Protein backbone atom coordinates (compact mmCIF):
# COMPACT_ATOMS: atom_id res chain seq x y z
CA UNK A 1 0.00 0.00 0.00
CA UNK A 2 1.16 3.55 -0.71
CA UNK A 3 3.05 5.23 2.13
CA UNK A 4 0.52 8.09 2.17
CA UNK A 5 -2.40 5.72 2.85
CA UNK A 6 -4.47 6.92 5.79
CA UNK A 7 -4.97 4.13 8.32
CA UNK A 8 -7.52 3.69 11.09
CA UNK A 9 -7.20 0.82 13.56
CA UNK A 10 -10.38 -0.46 15.22
CA UNK A 11 -9.64 -3.02 17.90
CA UNK A 12 -11.14 -4.97 20.76
CA UNK A 13 -14.73 -4.87 19.49
CA UNK A 14 -15.12 -8.59 18.87
CA UNK A 15 -17.57 -10.26 16.52
CA UNK A 16 -19.44 -7.11 15.46
CA UNK A 17 -16.33 -5.09 14.55
CA UNK A 18 -16.95 -5.30 10.79
CA UNK A 19 -20.08 -3.17 11.09
CA UNK A 20 -18.64 -0.04 12.78
CA UNK A 21 -15.67 -0.41 10.45
CA UNK A 22 -18.00 -0.39 7.44
CA UNK A 23 -19.70 2.67 8.96
CA UNK A 24 -16.44 4.56 9.47
CA UNK A 25 -15.17 3.64 6.00
CA UNK A 26 -18.41 4.62 4.26
CA UNK A 27 -18.39 7.97 6.09
CA UNK A 28 -14.85 8.55 4.80
CA UNK A 29 -15.83 7.58 1.25
CA UNK A 30 -18.82 9.94 1.24
CA UNK A 31 -16.97 12.84 2.87
CA UNK A 32 -13.76 12.58 0.81
CA UNK A 33 -15.06 11.09 -2.43
CA UNK A 34 -12.24 8.54 -2.29
CA UNK A 35 -12.20 4.72 -2.02
CA UNK A 36 -11.47 2.88 1.20
CA UNK A 37 -10.35 -0.63 2.06
CA UNK A 38 -11.51 -2.46 5.18
CA UNK A 39 -9.68 -5.48 6.55
CA UNK A 40 -10.96 -7.70 9.35
CA UNK A 41 -8.22 -9.91 10.78
CA UNK A 42 -8.85 -12.16 13.78
CA UNK A 43 -6.42 -14.51 15.54
CA UNK A 44 -8.78 -16.16 17.99
CA UNK A 45 -6.28 -18.96 18.54
CA UNK A 46 -4.57 -16.46 20.87
CA UNK A 47 -7.34 -17.31 23.35
CA UNK A 48 -5.79 -20.71 24.01
CA UNK A 49 -4.78 -20.86 27.66
CA UNK A 50 -2.61 -23.35 29.56
CA UNK A 51 -4.49 -26.27 31.08
CA UNK A 52 -5.76 -25.75 34.63
CA UNK A 53 -7.15 -28.00 37.34
CA UNK A 54 -10.58 -26.35 37.10
CA UNK A 55 -12.82 -27.26 34.19
CA UNK A 56 -13.93 -24.01 32.51
CA UNK A 57 -16.96 -24.74 30.31
CA UNK A 58 -16.94 -21.26 28.76
CA UNK A 59 -13.37 -21.76 27.54
CA UNK A 60 -14.20 -25.19 26.10
CA UNK A 61 -17.15 -23.74 24.18
CA UNK A 62 -15.09 -20.79 22.93
CA UNK A 63 -12.30 -23.03 21.62
CA UNK A 64 -14.83 -25.32 19.92
CA UNK A 65 -16.52 -22.38 18.14
CA UNK A 66 -13.78 -19.91 17.21
CA UNK A 67 -11.20 -19.96 14.42
CA UNK A 68 -8.73 -17.60 12.76
CA UNK A 69 -9.65 -15.73 9.56
CA UNK A 70 -9.18 -12.55 7.56
CA UNK A 71 -11.49 -10.87 5.03
CA UNK A 72 -11.42 -7.57 3.16
CA UNK A 73 -13.79 -5.35 1.21
CA UNK A 74 -13.43 -2.21 -0.90
CA UNK A 75 -15.85 0.73 -0.61
CA UNK A 76 -16.03 3.27 -3.45
CA UNK A 77 -17.97 6.51 -4.02
CA UNK A 78 -21.32 6.15 -5.79
CA UNK A 79 -23.26 3.05 -6.78
CA UNK A 80 -21.44 0.45 -8.82
CA UNK A 81 -22.94 -2.51 -10.65
CA UNK A 82 -22.57 -5.80 -8.85
CA UNK A 83 -21.80 -4.45 -5.40
CA UNK A 84 -23.70 -3.43 -2.29
CA UNK A 85 -24.47 0.12 -1.21
CA UNK A 86 -24.33 0.87 2.51
CA UNK A 87 -27.66 2.43 3.47
CA UNK A 88 -27.30 2.43 7.27
CA UNK A 89 -25.23 1.08 10.15
CA UNK A 90 -26.99 0.87 13.53
CA UNK A 91 -26.37 -0.51 17.01
CA UNK A 92 -27.97 -1.00 20.41
CA UNK A 93 -26.23 -1.90 23.67
CA UNK A 94 -27.72 -3.58 26.74
CA UNK A 95 -25.37 -2.56 29.54
CA UNK A 96 -27.22 -4.76 32.04
CA UNK A 97 -25.59 -7.72 30.27
CA UNK A 98 -22.07 -6.28 30.23
CA UNK A 99 -20.63 -9.42 31.85
CA UNK A 100 -22.16 -11.84 29.32
CA UNK A 101 -19.29 -11.39 26.84
CA UNK A 102 -15.87 -10.47 28.14
CA UNK A 103 -12.39 -10.25 26.69
CA UNK A 104 -9.48 -10.05 29.11
CA UNK A 105 -5.81 -9.69 28.31
CA UNK A 106 -3.81 -11.98 30.61
CA UNK A 107 -0.13 -12.88 30.93
CA UNK A 108 -0.90 -16.00 28.87
CA UNK A 109 -2.87 -14.30 26.07
CA UNK A 110 -6.51 -13.38 25.53
CA UNK A 111 -9.22 -14.97 27.67
CA UNK A 112 -12.78 -15.09 26.33
CA UNK A 113 -15.84 -15.10 28.58
CA UNK A 114 -19.01 -16.33 26.88
CA UNK A 115 -22.20 -16.66 28.93
CA UNK A 116 -24.89 -19.16 27.87
CA UNK A 117 -27.42 -16.37 28.55
CA UNK A 118 -26.39 -14.37 25.45
CA UNK A 119 -29.18 -15.79 23.23
CA UNK A 120 -31.76 -14.85 25.87
CA UNK A 121 -30.59 -11.21 25.88
CA UNK A 122 -30.62 -11.08 22.08
CA UNK A 123 -34.20 -12.31 22.05
CA UNK A 124 -35.22 -9.21 24.04
CA UNK A 125 -33.85 -6.72 21.51
CA UNK A 126 -33.36 -8.12 18.01
CA UNK A 127 -36.91 -7.76 16.64
CA UNK A 128 -37.46 -4.16 17.75
CA UNK A 129 -33.92 -3.24 16.71
CA UNK A 130 -34.24 -4.63 13.17
CA UNK A 131 -37.80 -3.33 12.71
CA UNK A 132 -36.63 0.17 13.70
CA UNK A 133 -33.74 0.21 11.23
CA UNK A 134 -35.90 -1.07 8.37
CA UNK A 135 -38.73 1.37 9.08
CA UNK A 136 -36.36 4.32 8.67
CA UNK A 137 -36.02 3.25 5.02
CA UNK A 138 -39.66 2.41 4.42
CA UNK A 139 -38.95 -1.33 4.57
CA UNK A 140 -40.30 -4.30 6.50
CA UNK A 141 -38.93 -7.75 7.24
CA UNK A 142 -40.65 -9.12 4.13
CA UNK A 143 -38.60 -6.78 1.91
CA UNK A 144 -35.31 -8.32 3.08
CA UNK A 145 -34.23 -11.26 0.92
CA UNK A 146 -30.72 -11.68 2.34
CA UNK A 147 -29.70 -12.26 5.97
CA UNK A 148 -26.01 -12.25 6.87
CA UNK A 149 -26.27 -13.09 10.57
CA UNK A 150 -23.07 -13.67 12.50
CA UNK A 151 -23.13 -17.31 13.67
CA UNK A 152 -21.98 -16.83 17.23
CA UNK A 153 -23.28 -20.34 17.73
CA UNK A 154 -26.24 -22.49 16.67
CA UNK A 155 -28.45 -21.19 19.51
CA UNK A 156 -27.92 -17.58 18.47
CA UNK A 157 -28.99 -18.33 14.91
CA UNK A 158 -32.05 -20.18 16.21
CA UNK A 159 -33.05 -17.21 18.36
CA UNK A 160 -32.68 -14.71 15.51
CA UNK A 161 -34.65 -16.98 13.19
CA UNK A 162 -37.44 -17.34 15.75
CA UNK A 163 -37.69 -13.70 16.83
CA UNK A 164 -37.70 -12.38 13.26
CA UNK A 165 -40.02 -15.16 12.06
CA UNK A 166 -37.67 -15.95 9.19
CA UNK A 167 -38.21 -18.75 6.66
CA UNK A 168 -36.31 -22.00 7.42
CA UNK A 169 -33.68 -21.35 4.74
CA UNK A 170 -33.11 -17.64 5.48
CA UNK A 171 -29.98 -18.31 7.56
CA UNK A 172 -28.63 -21.14 5.40
CA UNK A 173 -25.52 -19.12 4.44
CA UNK A 174 -24.80 -18.29 8.08
CA UNK A 175 -25.13 -21.94 9.11
CA UNK A 176 -22.99 -23.11 6.19
CA UNK A 177 -20.27 -20.61 7.10
CA UNK A 178 -20.32 -21.74 10.73
CA UNK A 179 -20.04 -25.36 9.62
CA UNK A 180 -17.20 -24.70 7.18
CA UNK A 181 -15.11 -22.15 9.09
CA UNK A 182 -16.45 -21.84 12.64
CA UNK A 183 -16.99 -18.50 14.36
CA UNK A 184 -14.24 -16.32 12.85
CA UNK A 185 -15.28 -13.26 14.85
CA UNK A 186 -15.39 -10.04 12.78
CA UNK A 187 -14.53 -11.48 9.31
CA UNK A 188 -17.46 -13.93 9.46
CA UNK A 189 -20.14 -11.53 8.20
CA UNK A 190 -17.92 -10.60 5.23
CA UNK A 191 -17.51 -14.30 4.39
CA UNK A 192 -21.30 -14.70 4.39
CA UNK A 193 -21.74 -11.60 2.22
CA UNK A 194 -19.24 -12.94 -0.31
CA UNK A 195 -21.24 -16.16 -0.58
CA UNK A 196 -24.39 -14.11 -1.27
CA UNK A 197 -22.63 -11.81 -3.74
CA UNK A 198 -21.51 -14.74 -5.89
CA UNK A 199 -25.02 -16.10 -6.43
CA UNK A 200 -26.41 -15.86 -9.97
CA UNK A 201 -29.22 -13.73 -8.51
CA UNK A 202 -27.83 -11.95 -5.40
CA UNK A 203 -30.33 -10.73 -2.79
CA UNK A 204 -31.43 -7.11 -3.29
CA UNK A 205 -31.79 -6.07 0.35
CA UNK A 206 -29.39 -7.56 2.90
CA UNK A 207 -29.37 -7.10 6.67
CA UNK A 208 -26.17 -8.02 8.47
CA UNK A 209 -26.31 -8.71 12.20
CA UNK A 210 -23.54 -9.37 14.70
CA UNK A 211 -23.24 -9.40 18.47
CA UNK A 212 -20.42 -8.74 20.88
CA UNK A 213 -19.22 -7.26 24.16
CA UNK A 214 -21.44 -4.67 25.74
CA UNK A 215 -23.70 -6.64 25.18
CA UNK A 216 -24.02 -4.97 21.78
CA UNK A 217 -26.10 -5.72 18.68
CA UNK A 218 -24.81 -4.21 15.43
CA UNK A 219 -26.54 -4.18 12.04
CA UNK A 220 -26.00 -2.85 8.55
CA UNK A 221 -28.56 -2.40 5.79
CA UNK A 222 -27.13 -3.05 2.32
CA UNK A 223 -28.74 -2.65 -1.09
CA UNK A 224 -27.55 -4.47 -4.19
CA UNK A 225 -26.75 -2.07 -7.03
Domain around 75:
1-225
115-134 pLDDT per residue, tens? 677 788 888 999 999 999 99
Which range, of 10-24, 47-61, 151-165, averages the lowest pLDDT?
Answer: 47-61
Note the pLDDT of residue 113: 67
Mean pLDDT, rounded, for 90-94? 93
pLDDT band at 87 (very low <50, low <70, confident <90, very high): very high
Mean pLDDT, rounded, for 73-79? 90
Cα distances (Å, whole numbers) of residue 213 to 76, 96, 154: 30, 12, 18
Note the pLDDT of residue 2: 86
Predicted confidence (pLDDT) at residue 108 exceeds the cutoff of 80: no
CATH number for the domain that contains residue 208:
3.40.47.10
Which range, of 106-115, 142-151, 193-202, averages the lowest pLDDT?
Answer: 106-115
Domain total in the chain: 1
Note the pLDDT of residue 146: 98
pTM, 2 dp: 0.88
Average pLDDT, the chain: 88
Q: Which residue has the higher pLDDT, 13 or 91?
A: 91
Mean pLDDT, rounded, for 42-46? 80
Amino acid sequence: MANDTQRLFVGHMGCYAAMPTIGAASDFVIARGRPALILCNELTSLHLQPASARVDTQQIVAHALFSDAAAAAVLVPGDTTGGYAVREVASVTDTSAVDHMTWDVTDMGFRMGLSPRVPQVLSLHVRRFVDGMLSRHGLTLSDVDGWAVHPGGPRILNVVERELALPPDALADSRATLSAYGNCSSPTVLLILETMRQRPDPPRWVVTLAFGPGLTLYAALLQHT
